[in-house]
């Protein structure tokens, strides 16, 4: 079997690395090896995607790097579609594997579907039910043209069933768990923070919150961004906040000062999971960080009106507060009282599987059963 994996952002590389390790383990133990071709669209490319990043994360260099980043959603997706199609015609894979909900995800799935190559979608079935989000458009369209729908949760399976995809011929809905949980279990054993991050954690004596703000719905709305930052500034008067600044957010905040918030440059994955393991809680508008907070048994306050990870809200691990300053501050006041480590420990539901999602995905693609 030849699998062509399409990725374009750093989180997708981390997810793909988990599946690549499962492929490598399969190849070590079986006489029918899987060949994986890794294609990086270039949607996100920065210094953290350098050779050092690949070495630290134990990720193979991409076989193809298209160098397509920036521009409008339509222009970016169109360029990717054209270039990916050329690679598919050359490589002739048996399966195209895509992850998540980015423009790279949709372009890879569309290119494959047009050439009648089966598509496998990892993180299928997630829904925010907010069609203003480009990610929502990408994930819905990708699910519609995929043959294998690898769902991380029961909620994701239910979403696809509500859309009738279980009745479509040759489509498999599979609840496999979350490959990001696989990644966290693997990398937390080998992660070493940079001296700068280690020093900051020591300076704050493990008493701080971790925050991220990057979604366009917050950064492109001055009222929402100002409200969020005002709330974080107020909270940081009593508990320090470390905020790695996304380039988009940094540019918008250049004219303002937040003396009590620890504003730092974007950090790598090892630094991020180290900060997660030492912080008291998380404020974020990121999708992935909501789950990672749960993986590290940390309370999460989500600066959005909705979330794809609704089970975290239902089980009390996550609070949706939007961008209103008062709601954010009030949520923080109850963060210790309402959420304790015992809450997560008492929950043996394994919302995102058991850390074997990647192996399960490979077995299903090979037609095996556990």
Nearest Cα residue to 147 out of 180, 176, 122: 122
Least confident of 55-59, 79-83, 272-276, 290-294: 55-59
- Tokens 């390790």 belong to residue: 21
CATH superfamily, with its number, for domain 195-346:
Glycogen Phosphorylase B; (3.40.50.2000)
Nearest Cα residue to 229 out of 252, 198, 205, 204: 252
**2-178+353-365 with 195-346: one CATH topology?**
yes
Most confident range (mean pLDDT) of 97-106, 207-216, 307-316, 328-337 is 97-106
Domain-wise residue ranges, the chain: 2-178+353-365, 195-346
Architecture of domain 2-178+353-365: 3-Layer(aba) Sandwich (3.40)
**pLDDT greater at residue 176 or residue 247:** 176
Model confidence over 12-22: pLDDT tens digits?
Answer: 999 999 999 99
- In three-state secondary structure terms, 356 is coil
Where does the pLDDT of residue 343 fall: very low under 50, low under 70, confident under 90, or very high at 90 and above? Answer: low
Residues designated as active site? 214
Strand partners, 109: none
For 288-311, b where at least 16 C-beta lie within 10 A, e where not — what string? bbbbbbbbbbbbbbbbbeebbbbb
pLDDT at 49: 47
CB 299, CB 317: distance < 8 Å:
yes
pLDDT at 346: 44
What number is the average pLDDT over the span 143-157? Answer: 97
Residues 271, 262: Cα–Cα separation, whole Å: 15
The DSSP element (H or E) to which 256 belongs, if any, is: none
Q: What are the residue ranges of helices labelled H in the chain?
A: 10-29, 51-56, 73-91, 103-114, 134-144, 154-162, 179-187, 195-203, 216-219, 222-235, 247-252, 269-278, 287-295, 310-314, 325-333, 335-338, 341-346, 357-365
Q: Which residues lie closer than 8 Å to 250 by C-beta, 6 or more apart?
A: none
The DSSP element (H or E) to which 116 belongs, if any, is: none
Structure tokens belonging to residue 79: 């360029």
pLDDT at 76 over 70: yes
Residues 213, 216: Cα–Cα separation, whole Å: 9
């Amino acid at each position: 079997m030849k699998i062509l994996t399409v990725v374009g952002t750093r989180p997708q590389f981390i997810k793909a690395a988990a599946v690549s390790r499962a492929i490598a383990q399969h190849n070590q133990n079986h006489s029918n090896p899987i060949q994986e071709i890794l294609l990086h669209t270039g949607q996100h490319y920065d210094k953290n995607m350098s050779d050092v990043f690949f070495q630290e994360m134990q990720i193979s260099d991409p076989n193809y790097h298209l160098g397509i980043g920036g521009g409008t959603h339509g222009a970016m997706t169109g360029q990717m579609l054209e270039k990916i199609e050329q690679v598919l015609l050359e490589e002739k894979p048996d399966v195209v594997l895509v992850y998540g909900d980015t423009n790279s995800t949709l372009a890879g799935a569309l290119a494959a579907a047009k050439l009648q190559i089966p598509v496998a979608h990892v993180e299928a079935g997630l829904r925010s039910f907010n069609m203003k989000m480009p990610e929502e458009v990408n994930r819905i369209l990708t699910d519609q043209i995929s043959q294998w729908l690898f769902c991380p949760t029961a909620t994701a399976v239910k979403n696809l069933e509500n859309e009738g995809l279980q009745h479509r011929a040759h489509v498999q809905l599979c609840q496999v768990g979350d490959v990001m949980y696989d990644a966290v279990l693997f990398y937390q054993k080998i992660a070493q923070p940079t001296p700068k991050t280690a020093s900051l954690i020591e300076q704050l004596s493990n008493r701080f919150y971790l925050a991220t703000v990057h979604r366009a719905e917050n950064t492109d709305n001055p009222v929402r961004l100002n409200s969020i930052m005002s709330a974080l500034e107020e909270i940081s008067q009593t508990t320090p906040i470390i905020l790695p600044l996304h380039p988009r957010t940094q540019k918008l905040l250049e004219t303002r000062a937040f003396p009590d918030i620890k504003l730092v440059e974007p950090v790598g994955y090892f630094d991020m999971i180290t900060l997660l393991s030492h912080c008291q809680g998380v404020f974020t508008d990121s999708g992935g960080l909501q789950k990672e907070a749960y993986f590290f048994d940390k309370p999460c306050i989500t600066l959005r009106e909705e979330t794809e990870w609704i089970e975290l809200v239902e089980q009390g691990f996550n609070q949706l507060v939007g961008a209103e300053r008062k709601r954010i501050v009030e949520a923080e006041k109850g963060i210790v009282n309402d959420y304790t480590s015992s809450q997560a420990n008492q929950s043996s539901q394994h919302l995102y599987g058991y850390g074997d999602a990647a192996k399960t995905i490979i077995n299903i693609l090979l037609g095996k059963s556990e």
